[in-house]
Amino acid sequence: MSEKTPLFYRYHFVFDSDHAVDIKINLDPETLQFIPSDKQPAPYWARFDYLVCEGCHLNISDQSFCPVAVNIASVIKAFKDAYSYDVVDVTVETQDRMYAKLQVPIQQPLSSLLGIIMVTSGCENLDKLRPMAKYHLPFASIEETIYRATSMYLLAQYLRYKKGLKPDWDMTELVDIYDNIDRINANICKRLQEASKKDASLNAVVILDVFAQMISTSFEYTLKDFEYLFAPYLEQ
């Protein structure tokens, strides 16, 4: 890992009962790789022999656990007794600013928290979304997510073009990326059915999956809704 100061996101949850949970995510500032903060044993539901995603290219013979499952385990444990409809006040601190959302069902900010851990954990398919972790947007709506995902993808294609690689200007491969992410999310949900007594964490991943399905099935239709924003660019 880099010796430079880690990129961090600190999520602070306050429940109506005055119970609070503080989760800090550290990322390598150069690779955006998730930096684990604890060395607790990985749970059984994180093992590869418990469940392997179709098409997983990790060398399972060299490691026993899914890195995504391992990295989200401490968060799942922290919220194992929370229902998705439990209301919380949430603040998110970064190096540059703070975000806040009050009296919100916990599944929404928890989805945002799990999402950033998952895309920085070393899964080959989820890695394609890792650039978005640099400019993470807590509590993002589906419209904001589609805007950010497509903008990120097109910038990636421009960088490919500048390096002499074939770009995908039609964004057909973006649909394939989110199709794969949909399958990964489904498998994570299967793991969480065994990991948590209540449904907050499970429904948080379901929200991520809904976003993935929206992008993979209807993003071209949704992109038309953005045209009015770019009127100055669309004039003859």
User: Would the pTM of this model clear 0.75, i.e. be above it?
Assistant: yes
pLDDT at 209: 86
Q: How far apart are CA 61 and CA 43, in angstroms?
A: 18
For tokens 């390096």, name the residue. 163
Domain parsing of the chain, residue ranges: 7-233
pLDDT tens by residue, 131-145: 999 999 999 988 898
Q: How far apart are CA 5 and CA 129, in angstroms?
A: 22
Contact criterion met (CB below 8 Å) for 150 and 195: no
Q: How far apart are CA 121 and CA 36, in angstroms?
A: 10
pLDDT tens by residue, 60-72: 666 788 899 999 9
pLDDT at 41: 83
- 126 burial (CB, 10 Å; 0-12 / 13-18 / 19+) is buried
